[in-house]
A and B are shown apart, each in its own frame.
Chain A
């Protein structure tokens, strides 16, 4: 049955989460701004997504009742991602352990888990709105980090800030190309068939 696959996903989620929370790993990833935002953040989201994959089907249905067309989940992911782009949020999380814990939980659940349970139900328009907002925002944040005349974060040197800005812009660009490319290549290229409500 699919029970063992779900159990595997749950174990993987916990393992990934624990690995990221381990003090040496945390210190390593949070020491460099690029690693912090472009490695730790996505990995936390991945742990959340794995947790979603490990959900028993009854739970999925219950969540779906509050998340028609994945709208609530996509909104949650967008809001959470935006919050953690605030320079002050990054700085404060490095100084206050409870805020760092909140960061772990909110990125895992609020972004990873939320996206995982909302992506399929969302359909083309929902995903389009989500990506169409988030990707430009990522690029603008990256540009701000790059172009700001001062250091935005007290904890990171200007060189790191600029490198992070460049990396964020690059990530946004790559993601945009991948998304748009999907319309022209493979399954996306075929005309959309009417879809039954997905679970």
Chain B
């Protein structure tokens, strides 16, 4: 009767709406949706102007396409004492691994600051020194024009919220850019060692991976 029909219509409508919202029940959070999009569409990097720790200006896509390497990109701010310092430690390990296994011709590391106001040239240079970053393997940069930052963050799916106490809360992930300058994968920093694409370039043992994971 009519009530049963109404119920059926409501169910169909609800399932359709939920399916559309979650991309076929695969993305319940905006973050999941972003990762799915990146894996499927593999968007080309923008040509955002960046300034590295040495003060040289580069266009992002060109800079990363130049030598046929793939790149692991992360976003930090140098004053961060929590999440970003873990990312920094990870990058140190990855750099050491790339060097030890002679993979540095195939993969490079890029760290971009999302706090260009306070992470100026000297601050980035100090960070690079502190991390022991080898400029041939690990590049550190900030956006040349702060107005470009929101677009760049949006492209990479990085959400930064000023927590009102001078620090930022942000999602933390490793962003894989392939050799042709396309963003093709977003991996949580804790999952990187078990990720099929990234793992071959990172620390070799499962033991090291377990140590890195947050409790």
Contacts and interface: CB of A to CB of B under 8 A. Distances in A.
Contacts of A91: 29-30
Interface in A116-174: 149-155, 157-158
A98 interface: no
B2 interface: yes
Contacts of B6: 66-67, 72
Contacts of A68: 1-3
Nearest to A144: B28
Interface residues of B, number: 27
**Range of interface residues on A (Cβ < 8 Å):** 20 to 34
A53 B5 CA distance: 25
A72 B7 contact: yes
With most chain A CB atoms within 10 A of its CB, the pick from B1, B10, B28, B169 is: B10
A83 interface: yes
A75 B14 CA distance: 10
Interface string B25-45: 001111111000000000000
A75 B29 contact: no
Contact of A88 (B10, B14, B29, B163): B29
B65 to A, nearest CB: 29
Given A66-B3, A82-B14, A154-B30, 11 more contacts: A65-B2, A66-B6, A68-B1, A69-B3, A72-B6, A86-B22, A152-B29, A154-B171, A155-B159, A157-B169, A158-B169
12 contacts: A71-B3, A75-B11, A79-B11, A83-B14, A86-B21, A88-B21, A88-B22, A88-B28, A88-B29, A149-B214, A150-B31, A157-B163
9 tightest Cβ-Cβ pairs between the two chains A and B: A79-B14, A72-B6, A91-B30, A154-B159, A68-B3, A66-B6, A66-B2, A87-B29, A154-B30
Interface of A: 65-69, 71-72, 75-76, 79-80, 82-83, 86-89, 91-92, 149-155, 157-158
